[in-house]
Structure 1
Amino acid sequence: MSRLSLQSSPVAAASAFVLLAVLWGGSFVAIEVGLAYFPPLLFAGIRYLLAGVAVLAYAAVVADGWIPTTRREVSSVVVTAVFVIAIYHGFLYVGEQYVPGAIAAVIVSLSPVLTAAVAAVVLPNERVGPVEVGGFLLGIVGVSVVANPSADALVSTQTLGILLVFCSAVAFAVGAVLLRPLRTDFPVVALQGWGMTLGAVLLFAGAGALGESPGDVSVTPTAIVSLAYLSVLSGVLAFLIYFALLDAVGPTQLHLVGYAEPVTAALASWLVLGHLIEGDALVGFAAILAGFLVLERHSVRRMLVNRGRTA
């Protein structure tokens, strides 16, 4: 799936986008299923060790200069490993012990909103105005609707899970913003491969600190299928599709995949587990999407104008 083929074929690009949303949306349900057989941090570490080694091997074949050599390249790998892989997935996997995967996907869809908000605060060239604040607040309202913070719910395990998953979205946003000033010509596929591998090591360290042990793993056909899905399909294949789409359509359009993931996660949860997402989650998701469109209104407008010119 090359950059040229996706750029020259809108149908191929749209198909790749849908496939990416399906693979990443299904990963939330695969995590929920696998947590019955794996301790959370160990589960995430195994997944990203397998995926990271495979992506690194691919980078060694297709990318020039796939080994980081400069301070900025090493720094970008460290930021990716710490925030985008280790902390993000650590909180996500622990949180999914208490909240369904479909709900976790809705909360994680807040990441682009949080990224824009963090960038507006941290980066000097990002403007913060009433509209930006309003977009951020819309996203927070969406999470609050999903959490449904009644007096009884505040002490529930599901609320704990939502808070943990929210922390994972914050970690991803912080990592995404910290990576912006570190951009170089270092290949994205190599960055992700090194980040996954180092992030897996950090997750294993966290698992050891929490007393997780390989002896706690229950090796069953379901456990193997879950891990294989997360490592091979949602890990290696999905990231290769992501790299191709990033070149073909750019980051703004690709951010929209985060809003297709909750839909595919809800469908997968219904098909695999028989769970139906509740109305509150749908309303919350709509508010989060509205917040993103407000914050990224200029980029979305440019994207629509450019698409209209090429149609």
Structure 2
Amino acid sequence: MICGCVPRTENKMGRASVFENRKWVPLFAGSAALSWACAFPLIKLGLADFGIAGTDTGGKALFAGARFLLAGLVVLAVAKLCGRSFAVPRGKTRWQLVLFGLVNTALHYFFFYLGVSNSPGGRASILDSLGTFLLILAAAVVFREKLTLRSIFGCLLGFSGIVLINLGSTAGQFTLSGDGMLLCSSVCAMVGGLLTRVVTRKMDPLVATGHSLALGGALLIPAGLLMGAHPVGVHLKGLLILAALVAVSAVGFSFYNQLLRYHPVGQIAIYNAFIPVLGVVLSCLLLGEPFSWRYLLSGALVTVGICAVNLPGKGKN
């Protein structure tokens, strides 16, 4: 299903991507959000099993690098099995692909892990989610996507839902090492989203995703070592958790990036508002963290926000 190719009857094009079909967008975008949300509890479990301390930022970067490098190789292997074209157009497209991996994976998650290590959890979730809404605004400017009052209202509802799940956990002063790094992460997420649209329209989106993840992971590994990553203990449980993280990363990025090729960025990016909401719910289920009624209300706000952004205008099907 990651390949997303199905036959199109009586069509000169021969084959078409299932990701082009608008009716499948909620399924694939929701699956991508769920995949990334699964990463929250899995990362906590993985760091604990490998013995990576909360202050060991180098160890976290090394762990993330292994995750994304392996995920990229898995995606490339799937693309090869599916018969996807590995051709990369000459010229600036190759540099855009390198920049895609550098910004969307390496820098994005480098700043993310630095920020999370030095910022309260609730505020970290809010600041990290800014990338979604910055991307929607940037797409309106760069790609001339229409930004209506209804879509703005939908974004506000989605952001309100994220703030709601973090009420009472955002205390503390602004810090450059924490909040500043998370803002840099959000900017990288925004730029990465724009690059996704550009690169996946010039080459196969699955192949571009694999290259981006593998390159970003390969850059994070030496960065983690240079930052003084401490030796870790390797156990079967930890390897299984890492394998699960590789799987959710491969699925999440593959689905999301292929959707961005065919649909307006704003209509896809808004689904990312589900990530922190689903993340706390999954943490309750998998880690035994306390559940709150706010999570249900938050999910409802995000759902209404997504509907507001994606509902067709008058006269459209």
TM-score by length of 2: 0.70
Name the aligned partner's letter for residue 76 of structure 2.
L
Name the aligned partner's letter for residue 45 of structure 1.
G
Matches within 5 A, 1:127-166: 146=166, 153-154=172-173, 161-166=178-183
For the Cα contact (< 8 Å) 2:162–2:277, is it kept in 1? no
Q: In 2 relative to 1, CA 274–192 (structure 1 residues): closer, same or farther, beyond 3 Å?
A: same
C-alpha deviation, 1:56, in angstroms: 1.4
Name the aligned partner's letter for residue 20 of structure 1.
A
Q: In 2 relative to 1, CA 177–126 (structure 1 residues): closer, same or farther, beyond 3 Å?
A: same
Aligned to 1:40: 60
Q: 1: CA distance between counterparts of 2:262 and 2:143?
A: 29
C-alpha deviation, 1:23, in angstroms: 1.7
Aligned to 2:80: 60
Aligned to 2:55: none
2:192 to 175, 178, 195: 175
Deviations 1:178-224 (A, max 9, x none): 555556430111111111111112112321331225xx222234422
Aligned to 2:95: 75
Q: 2: CA distance between counterparts of 1:199 and 1:226?
A: 20
Aligned to 2:312: 302
C-alpha deviation, 1:82, in angstroms: 1.1
SS at 1:302's partner residue?
coil
2:210 to 163, 172, 193: 193
Identify which range, 77-86 or 174-183, moves more after superposition: 174-183
Tell me the matched-pair count.
296
For the Cα contact (< 8 Å) 1:27–1:230, is it kept in 2? yes
Deviations 1:20-55 (A, max 9, x none): 332211112222332332411101110011111111
Q: 1: CA distance between counterparts of 2:286 and 2:21?
A: 33
Question: Pairwise CA RMSD of aligned residues?
Answer: 4.5
Q: 1: CA distance between counterparts of 2:296 and 2:183?
A: 17
Q: 1: CA distance between counterparts of 2:152 and 2:257?
A: 31
Deviations 1:56-75 (A, max 9, x none): 12223335541424123212
TM-score by length of 1: 0.72
SS at 1:200's partner residue?
helix
Q: In 2 relative to 1, CA 206–7 (structure 1 residues): closer, same or farther, beyond 3 Å?
A: closer
Q: 1: CA distance between counterparts of 2:178 and 2:221?
A: 21
For structure 2, the residue ranges without an aligned partner over 5 or more in a row are 8-17, 53-58
Name the aligned partner's letter for residue 63 of structure 2.
F
Matches within 5 A, 1:198-209: 198-209=215-226
Matches within 5 A, 1:1-311: 1=1, 2-4=4-6, 6=18, 14-36=26-48, 37=50, 38=52, 39-97=59-117, 104-119=124-139, 123=142, 146=166, 153-154=172-173, 161-178=178-195, 180=197, 184-212=201-229, 216-232=231-247, 234-242=248-256, 245=259, 251-276=265-290, 300-302=310-312, 306=316, 309=317
Deviations 1:99-147 (A, max 9, x none): 68787555433222111344567x4957999999999999989888859
Q: 2: CA distance between counterparts of 1:222 and 1:250?
A: 40
Identify which range, 253-262 or 199-208, moves more after superposition: 253-262
Q: 2: CA distance between counterparts of 1:29 and 1:261?
A: 12
C-alpha deviation, 1:90, in angstroms: 1.4
For structure 1, the residue ranges without an aligned partner over 5 or more in a row are none
Q: 2: CA distance between counterparts of 1:279 and 1:162?
A: 27
Q: In 2 relative to 1, CA 276–173 (structure 1 residues): closer, same or farther, beyond 3 Å?
A: farther
